[in-house]
Amino acid sequence: MTGGRGGPDPGGDVLTVTMNPAIDHTLAVEEPLRTGEVARTDDARFDAGGKGINVSQYLTALDIAAPSTGFLGGPFGRMIAEALDDDGVARDFVEIAGRTRLNTTVLSPEGEYKINHDGPVLEAADVDALVERVRERGPELLVVAGSLPRGIDTDAVDRLAGAGPWDTAVDMGGELLRRLDADYLVCKPNREELAAATGRGAETLDACAEAARELRESGFRYVLASLGPDGALLVTDSAALYAPALPVTVVDTVGAGDAMLSGFLAGLSRGESHAAALRTAIAVASRVVSVSGTRVPAFESVFEARESVDVRTL
């Protein structure tokens, strides 16, 4: 892999990129969904969504400035811009002709149902404008997260990573991770993405560790694997660290992986050890899964709460 910046872990300025953002429409119904019957609810939320946007919101709440960029268009794009303004998250998006998408999550007694729009089709000129926008910002750390809109492939992510001296964190599907060709600070696959990126099984913790080690060798300084209710795994050049999840009541898993990445990056930005950054990742994610939607929960005392997270070396 080429591009990127070596040396110490980054701190300071963070810029997130969400190429395929969405309005996250989350609603809850009290009765099971049945074919042919109308389900009614007055419990609904509309949040600015997309992995990079989520990371910006969580880092901002953790007192780390993290402006957001990417592509916005149409009425849902305007809703996202207004929501970020309301949340105090700085934004500098490239305006496109297409329409930003709407993603819907239905919380029912039977579980979660998700319907995601594909999003707009973008042109090469849109990518050129985004690369220039990132160069103008000149962050110390760039976070590229989420799905890619139609018309864009992983070479656009590599261009962003190699367009300046910043480190780049990435969070996207496993098939996309395996096609990246630049140097990256960290990637954050879940268990399924870890398996897809490496072609290895990921059923056990040891299998996940082996897959993460293999993935790290393909050009990532760190691999932070989110394992759902089993916690998280961090693989560095010298160790594989495991932390179980905290015992909390899980209300909604939307944004959990983004919160985990945010907590880890917050730890690095504070100059903390790998183990402390992993503890922060678990603690932040535990707060996010305790609320519905992608709204930002209260993060007061989260750095103290992380001390209850156990970290061990595999």
Q: Which residues are catalytic?
A: 258
The angle that helices 274-288 and 256-269 make with each other, rounded to 10 degrees, is 140
252 φ, ψ to 5°? -160, 130
Distances (CA, A) of 136 to 163, 164, 222: 11, 10, 27
Beta strands, E only, 64-198: 68-72, 94-95, 101-108, 111-116, 141-145, 167-171, 184-187
CA distance 92 to 69: 5
Q: How many CA atoms lie within 13 A of 220 on its CB side?
A: 25
**Are the beta carbons of 15 and 142 closer than 8 angstroms?**
yes
Q: Pick from 136, 100, 101: which is nearest to 116 by CA?
A: 101
Q: Pick from 269, 249, 260: which is nearest to 191 by CA?
A: 260
Structure tokens at 105: 């999550």
CA distance 236 to 147: 25
Strand partners, 233: 225, 242
Alpha-carbon torsion 92, 193, 188, 104, what sign? Answer: positive
